[in-house]
Amino acid sequence: MVDTDKGWIVRERLIEGMLECGALKFGDFTLTSGKQSKYYVDVKTAVTRPELLRVIAHGMAPFTVGCDRIAGVELGAIPIAAAVSLETDLPYIMIRKERKEHGTKKPFEGELKAGEKVLFVEDVVTTGGTLVKAVTAIRSLGAKVERVVCVVDREEGGFERLRDAGLELHSLVKGSDLLSAAG
């Protein structure tokens, strides 16, 4: 079990910071999942600010208990994985969305040993499709993956899809929290 007693402090600081930096945008957007949306959560903008990246790393650190390694899928989760790694002293791997066709042709960068417990971090979860694909690839290499923690869960089916893949999804902020705070 993860101790999240102070989670509300992280959530409030994160929501405030994301709104201040303009990470919540309104308009017509096509999401990675292909879904159309009237809002977009640009966590990449937030993680370029050291103070917000620190809040994210601090909020995710408790979820690493019992894990050997952190994983993030390119591009959005890489700075998050690096920050959580620095916060916890756990090593991390960078998962490629597509296997490279040159050099080592590895699906990830970093070290991974069979049997290691890996925590996946993510910026935004909508349907969970990208994560399920990445987790499946890492599991096929012998890693044990049970948990995912994201900055924002848009609450659009990702929780259920990840649960069906045998994963617990935890989020620092819900999409509804952001939208409510934006008024």
Structure-token pair, residue 114? 């069979």
What phi and psi values does residue 59 have, to the nearest 5 degrees? -70, -30
* pLDDT tens-digit series, residues 130-183: 999 999 999 999 999 999 999 999 999 999 999 999 999 999 999 999 999 998
Structure-token pair, residue 31? 């999401």
Q: CA 161, 25, 76, 13 torsion: positive or negative? A: negative
Q: Residue 8: pLDDT band by 50, 70, 90 thresholds?
A: confident
The residue extents of the domains of the chain are: 7-182
| CATH 3.40.50.2020 at 7-182, yes or no | yes
* pLDDT tens-digit series, residues 9-42: 889 999 999 999 999 999 999 988 888 999 999 9
- Choose among 85, 67, 57: nearest CA to 143: 67
CA 12 – CA 161 distance, rounded (Å): 27
CA 63 – CA 122 distance, rounded (Å): 13
What is the pTM for the complete model shown?
0.92
